[in-house]
Every structure is written in C-alpha cells, then in structure tokens.
Amino acid sequence: MRSVRPLAHRTEEPLELQAKALDQLRYIRRTIEDAGSFTSVPGWGQVVIGLTALLAAWIAARQRTETAWLVTWLVESALALTISAWSMARKARAAGLPLFSGPARKFALSFSLPLAAGAVLTWVFQSRGIVAVLPGMWLLMFGTAVATGGAFSVSIVPVMGFCFMVLGAAAFLSPAAWGNLWMALGFGLVMIGFGLLIARRHGG
Amino acid sequence: MAREAARVEHRGSGGATRRLRGVRGRAPVPAGELDRVIHERVRLGIVSALAVTETMSFNELKKLLRATDGNLSVHARKLEEAQYVSCTKRFDGRVPRTEYRLTALGRRSLERYLDHMEALIRATRAR
C-alpha cells in the first residue's frame, strides 16, 4: 500500500484536508458548468433547422393565401423549436452535463423573452392584417433573442444574432414580396453557416 | 472507462494511518500519490473544461479561466508535456488559432483525481 502526500507540503488536519478537497471539487464543477456555455448551442441542430427553413421558404412561396403562408412558417417554427430542444438535450447528455446548468439557464431565459415578444407581435400584426412586416419582425426578434442569449455563450453566438438583426432591418426596407427570400437567407443559409462553424469549433 | 477505486493511506497530523475506502465500493486498488500535474488550479481548470468540450481554443480557455496569456501558456505547456492535452495550431484565414484537446491519459487522470478527492472527503467525514 502506498502513501499519499498531503495536499500541502506540511501535514494538515482532516477538516482542512476535507475543505480543500471540497473546494477543488466545487472548482471542477463550476469550470465544467461555465465550459458548458461552449457546448449548449447545438451546431448540427442548427444545420438541420436551416435545411427545414429552406424547405419551408420554398413551400411558403407557393401558398396562395396569407393564412396558409403564416401556417407554413408557424409549423416551421414549432419544428425548429423541437429540433433545437432535442439537439440541445442530446449535446448536453453527450457532454455529461445537466441540460439546465447555470449558463444554459441564463441562455434559455434571455433567449425566450424576445421570442415571446415576437409571438405577441405576430398575433397583433396578423389580427390587423399587417402580415407583410412579419418576416422582418421575426428576423429582428430572433436576432435579438440570439444576441442577448449569446451573451452567456461563445462570441460567435451573439455575432449570429446581430446578423439576423441586420437581415430583419433589411427586410423592412425591401419590397414585401421578398419576405420569403429574407426568411430563406436568414433562417436557412445564415443558420446553416453558423451551425457548421459552431459544430466545428465547439464540439457538435 | 473504468474508474479506479481509491484505497490509500494518508498520514495525518497525528501520524495515525487512515485508510480511504474505494469510491463506489469497488475492489480496492492503490491510487498512488496525488497528481500534482492537475492539482494546480489553472491546470485543473483546463482539464475540467476540456473534459466536457471536444476542443477549446487558447482564447476561449483564457476567457473561461480568467488567466493571462503567459500564465495559461505555461500551464498548458505543462499539461502537454505530461501528455494530458494535445495542442494543434492552424490558421483561420490569417489568424493563428491554437486548439487544445484532452487526451485519454488526461481524462483518466482527471477521473482518478476526482476519485482521490472524493475518497479524501469520505475518509475525513467517517472519522
């Protein structure tokens, strides 16, 4: 049987040893939780969402009524949320982290509030027949959600948020008929591009 | 990977020998001495962060651990020398990027260190 050197060079009381060991374990846990911010955003999940958004843009462009167009995008948003939740859970499980660790909780809260505001605005604009502004508003609100939530994540996430915000602003300034193009560009191509970068640099 | 159970002896201030029973009740295996390579805070932080992330860049680690360039560089090199982490250098366009990855040896060492800390806590609580 071998001897273990005490934590410090001098001999220590058991309580002191225990306190040091607990402190080390707490430090490991905190570091792992903080590093979780690097893993909580699912890159591959974003790529899949981007592909479904491209398909949704193609389908939406072929709808003859505003209601059918709106339903297409609402179905896509529900699908995107499902894929996002599933891929985040999968990524957290693979990393051996709880889904709602410290940074992930902050991200979820900061991300969900602008999305909730966007949902309310969607209802307001739709009920007043101002559907043409929805693509710009969706891109802007999603960008805000990503940029604020991204404050607790790697720097690439808020950058993605700002890109969406710029696209949203551009959509407001362009003809209403370009709505599906902006949606395909934002929720499709930008999402896929950043998804690939996150997957490559931040572990999936 | 199977985690090693710790059954070690520690001579406390009174000189009495205490046994630290194995973690998770497995067969007792000598755990050996405390791993000084990862006992240091910054190095422990690097190894812990890489245990849950496939790769991390130098700047990400620096931000996460709130370390200076020089400090992180020295500690990362020690981990490299111990073969606990591997380092790759590449260019993102014109920007150099240094990425670290935990090796199998590094992961085993972290798990063994965790076992060691748990065993110390159990032993001192049981006393």
Mean pLDDT, rounded, for A90-110: 68
B80 part of contact set with chain A, CB < 8 Å? no
Is A99 part of any domain? Answer: yes
Neighbours of A109 (CB within 10 A): 12
CATH class, domain B35-126, is: mainly alpha
Query: Is A9 contained in some domain?
Result: no
Q: Which of A54-58, B32-36, B107-111 has the lowest average pLDDT?
A: B32-36
Q: What is the pLDDT of residue A12?
A: 59
Quick check: B61 pLDDT over 70? yes
DSSP B25: G
pLDDT tens per residue, range B65-91? 989 999 999 999 999 999 999 999 988
- pLDDT of amino acid A96: 56
Closest CA–CA distance from residue A187 to any residue of chain B (Å): 25
Residue A18's alpha-carbon distances to A7, A140, A191, in angstroms, are 10, 51, 48
Residue A178 lies in a domain: yes
The CA distance from A74 to the nearest CA of chain B, in Å, is 34
B120 touches chain A (CB under 8 A): yes
**How buried is B18 (Cβ within 10 angstroms: 0-12 exposed, 13-18 middle, 19+ buried)?**
middle
Q: List the 18-47 stretch of B: residues with Cβ below 8 A of A.
A: 20, 30-34, 39, 41, 44-45
**Does any CB of chain A come closer than 8 Å to the CB of residue B8?**
yes
**Minimal Cα distance from A93: which residue of B?**
B52
Q: How confident is the model at residue A102 (pLDDT cuts 50, 70, 90)?
A: low
Angle between helix A66-94 and helix A102-127 axes, rounded to 10 deg: 180
* The residue to which tokens 């990425």 are assigned: B99
Task: Judge: B11–A11 Cβ closer than 8 Å, yes or no.
Answer: yes
CA distance B124 to chain A (A): 5
Nearest CB neighbour to B13, from listed A13, A21, A27: A13
If one counts every other C-beta atom within 10 angstroms of the C-beta of residue A144, the result is 22
Question: CB distance B52–A17 less than 8 Å?
Answer: no
Per-residue model confidence (pLDDT) at position B127: 62
Q: Does A202 touch chain B (CB under 8 A)?
A: yes
* CB-nearest partner of A18 from B13, B57, B121: B121
Say whether B44 and A24 touch across the interface (CB within 8 A). Answer: yes
pLDDT above 90 as % of chain A:
54
pLDDT of residue A38 exceeding 60, the answer is: no
Q: Which of B34, B42, B52 to mutate to test the interface with A (most CBs of A within 10 A)?
A: B52
Q: Report the alpha-carbon distance of residue A99 to residue A105 in Å, rounded.
A: 8
**Largest Cα–Cα distance in chain B?**
61
Q: Which domain holds residue A91?
A: 14-201
Closest to B104 in 3D by CA, of B87, B84, B82: B84
Q: Which residues contact A153 (CB under 8 A, 6 or more apart)?
A: A37, A38, A40, A41, A103, A107
Of A17, A25, A35, the CB nearest to B49: A35
Q: Domain tally for chain A? A: 1
Domain range list for chain B: 35-126
Tokens of A172: 């407001």
Looking at per-residue confidence, does A17 or B44 come out higher?
B44
Q: Does B117 touch chain A (CB under 8 A)?
A: yes
In a domain, A105, yes or no: yes
User: Could you read off the pLDDT of A53-74 as tens digits, one per residue?
Assistant: 999 999 999 999 999 999 999 9
Does the CB of B83 have a partner CB in chain A at under 8 Å? no
- Look up residue A65 and give its DSSP letter: S
Residue A185 lies in a domain: yes
- pLDDT score, position B97: 84
Contacts of B33 in chain A (CB under 8 A): 2-5
